[in-house]
Amino acid sequence: MKRLLFFAVTLLAISCSKQQVLSPDGHTHIAFRLTQAGAPEYSVIQDGDTLIQWSALGLSCMEQDLTTGFRLMDIDRESRSERWETVWGEEHWIDDRHHEMTVELEHQSGIRMNIVFRAFDDGIAFRYELVPAQSEAEADDRLIILDEATEYRFTADHQAWSIPWRTEYYEGLWTKSPLSEITDTLCSPVTLEMTNDHYAFVHEAALTDYPAQNLYMADGALKTYLTPWLDSTAHVTPVKAYEQMPFVTPWRMVILARSLPEMVASRIMLNLNEPCAIEDPSWIKPMKFIGIWWGMHMKSMTWEQGPIHGATTTNMERYLRFAKEHGIEAVLAEGWNLGWEDWKHFSFTEPYSDWDMDYLSQLADSLGVAIIGHNETGGNAADYEDVLDEAYAYHQKHNIRAIKTGYVSPIIRTKDGLQLNKGQSGVRHYRKVIETAAKYHICIDNHEPVMPTGLQRTWPNLMTQEGVRGQEWNAWSQDGGSPCNHVTILPFTRIMAGPVDYTPGVFAFENPVMPQTRVHSTLTGQLGLFVCFYSPLQMACDLPENYMRHPEAFRFIESVPCDWERSMLIDGRIGEYCIFARQRRGGEDWYIGGITNENARNITIPLSMLTEGKTYSARVYHDDDDADWQTKPYAYVIDQATFTSTDTIRLRMASGGGLAIELKPEN
């Protein structure tokens, strides 16, 4: 009897071993199985430890329950090892190495559902591919998705960094709690500090025609809650997606990293998106910009026309000439167009009477400075879609190659009525904007967006997005402004999802209009953000006159690039501090930035990333000995020094402080 039992278990083990895929380095594997009820499940093991135990897969649809009743048809396998060039990014070149397993399933209804698994050295991903029933008598190519059964059943009670899913525009403060204590539904992504001192990042990739993923804890698992349609109350369960088969879902991805630098370095999300769809993307240019914007938040200017209107011809000319003088590539102007006076209808081709678009566009061209347009919709996405071609042709005519879009409304009006911006209808709208803009060689800086999922690989004219509690909150927030630790959390949470338009660079911390609110940072802390926060369209947000109060410090903003050859996290802890180093794309200059929370700290920076045998001249911007974000935020020092790859730099970061270093090779 014992021999028979051993033989049966051995057969089961052999069978299961065939339904798995290993990462190229062999350390991580994904296993797949069907339960007796025909329910698909997966698990993840890394270095012999089970990180995700058997977890449910599948879709619950109005027509069919695609969570059980499957039989295994076949398993296909592929491998990929390639290097691809980015149009812009934190790296010039990205390696895509993974092994793939496609599990082909047939449902009892005849519908085919493939589950494609990819195992990377630094994580895993999977998605669903839906195919109609093969029999003509059974064929129906429609699916109304009510929910997704996908879950992540982690084997330990990890610490999770997250924000609630209904946080307006994702503009919340990220907090940490054990998975077991999560009671709210969370937006994706979620970052995990694991009990074995490793890290995980749970998110999605290639979100194009599907609702955004949200996550909640139930029955010991992190489960998926898809963003619902708001007009589906007639159904017992709200509709999440309307699909025509065949279709594929976004990728569900989990970065699994043995260290924080390894997690930050992962490019799984970009590798899961399709290659660039723009045949010749040479017109897409990363750049720094200033703009007529911060004055509105400080109440010294208005968006609408009036006595202190910000976007006037005279003021814009001043900004353009300042940008030219200081090597800033572009200037943003908000409030130049009709509609701000009542927010009922914005025109994207009609300026206010004190704005001369023809003159300003000609002046910008003669100075070699770009204008960044601004299209605020007030959440009326449907009207914006109706005039996209007209609006973008107008901007193209005036040589405006980048537009900041806005959707300031908790619920936007799409072609499908009032919807959440992260629902399927909103996702479709943002995709239409990006693709239409590409036809006119226009780049997009999307505010009030859906959370990024790596779509910039396919459409690199989607250059940056907001989706963050950004600098503007430090001008008017009733809670006094974002705490010091906020900026030390974002590189490991929101910014892991993609470039962020946080708008760093405040040089004047007093706000006479809202004296109880201020930036919780030192001046060198603001400089450090230009390296720690990645965006290929990077705004220096303060007023020109404030920058001229500290011209020597402003030199770092003038020189720091926003397009990189290589990037790395040197050191950090989520919510405490981070030190990043980045190499200028196509050059040998290196830039190092650091920021800390409310705790001052001494840090050591090894310079082993520098080219061996070369000597580098450095400008080092750092907090003075008595600097403090509350009492002496302007106390900074600029040192000159030379370094080689064998050296280290030791500096103190003040409370709320930071550092910025520019290193240029001498030989």
Q: At what angle do helices 424-439 and 388-397 cross, to 10 degrees?
A: 30
Q: Residue 195 and residue 179: Cα distance in Å, rounded?
A: 11
Q: Residue 131 and residue 247: Cα distance in Å, rounded?
A: 7
| pLDDT of the residue at 18 | 63
Q: Residue 639 and residue 619: Cα distance in Å, rounded?
A: 6
Percent of the chain having pLDDT more than 70? 96
Q: Which residues pair with 254 in a beta bridge?
A: 124, 202
Residue 201 near residue 171 (C-beta atoms within 8 A): no
Average pLDDT of every residue of the chain: 95
Six token digits for residue 303: 């968006």
Which amino acid is residue 625, in one-letter code?
A: D
Residue 105 near residue 111 (C-beta atoms within 8 A): no
The three-state secondary structure class of 519 is coil
Q: Residue 264 and residue 533: Cα distance in Å, rounded?
A: 12
DSSP secondary structure of 214-258: EEEEETTEEEEEEPPPTT-TTSSS---EEEESSEEPPEEEEEEES
Q: Which CATH architecture has domain 2-271?
A: Distorted Sandwich (2.70)
Q: Residue 272 and residue 279: Cα distance in Å, rounded?
A: 20
Six token digits for residue 455: 């779509």
**Given pLDDT bands bounded at 50, 70 and 90, which one contains residue 6?**
very low
| pLDDT of the residue at 128 | 98
Percent of the chain having pLDDT more than 90? 93
Residue 193 has pLDDT above 80, yes or no: yes
Residue 460 near residue 87 (C-beta atoms within 8 A): yes
Cα dist from 254 to 152, 496, 498, 604, whole Å: 9, 12, 15, 31
Please, what is the end-to-end C-alpha distance for the chain in angstroms?
Answer: 78
Residue 317 near residue 310 (C-beta atoms within 8 A): no
Six token digits for residue 615: 């000597």
Cα dist from 43 to 36, 118, 471, whole Å: 17, 13, 41
Phi, psi of 637 (to 5 degrees): -130, 145
- Which sequence spans correspond to the domains of the chain? 2-271
The three-state secondary structure class of 16 is helix
Q: Residue 44 and residue 269: Cα distance in Å, rounded?
A: 18
| 8-state DSSP, 178 | E
**Given pLDDT bands bounded at 50, 70 and 90, which one contains residue 667?**
confident
Determine whether 559 is exposed, middle or buried from the number of CB atoms within 10 Å of its CB (0-12, 13-18, 19+): middle
Six token digits for residue 325: 């003088």
Q: What is the pLDDT of residues 269-318, one digit of tens each?
A: 999 999 999 999 999 999 999 999 999 999 999 999 999 999 999 999 99
| 8-state DSSP, 293 | T
Six token digits for residue 98: 């993974």
Q: What is the pLDDT of residues 531-590, one digit of tens each?
A: 999 999 999 999 999 999 999 999 999 999 999 999 999 999 999 999 999 999 999 999
Which amino acid is residue 174, in one-letter code?
A: W
| pLDDT of the residue at 512 | 85
Six token digits for residue 505: 């660079």
Q: Residue 377 and residue 444: Cα distance in Å, rounded?
A: 14
Q: What is the pLDDT of residues 8-62, one digit of tens each?
A: 333 333 334 469 999 999 999 999 999 999 999 999 999 999 999 999 999 999 9
Return all residues near 601 (Cβ < 8 A) that are at least 6 apart. 577, 652, 653
Residue 364 has pLDDT above 50, yes or no: yes
Q: Which residues pair with 403 in a beta bridge?
A: 373, 444
Q: What is the pLDDT of residues 374-401, one digit of tens each?
A: 999 999 999 999 999 999 999 999 999 9
Q: What is the pLDDT of residues 69-101, one digit of tens each?
A: 999 999 999 999 999 999 999 999 999 999 999
Phi, psi of 101 (to 5 degrees): -130, 120
Q: Which residues are catalytic?
A: 472
The closest of 183, 186, 144 to 167, measured between CA atoms, is 186
Return all residues near 244 (Cβ < 8 A) that are at least 6 apart. 141, 142, 143
CB atoms within 10 A of CB 321: 15
| pLDDT of the residue at 232 | 59
Six token digits for residue 660: 């910025």
| 8-state DSSP, 542 | S
Q: Which residues pair with 335 in a beta bridge?
A: none
The H-or-E segment that residue 486 falls in is helix 486-489
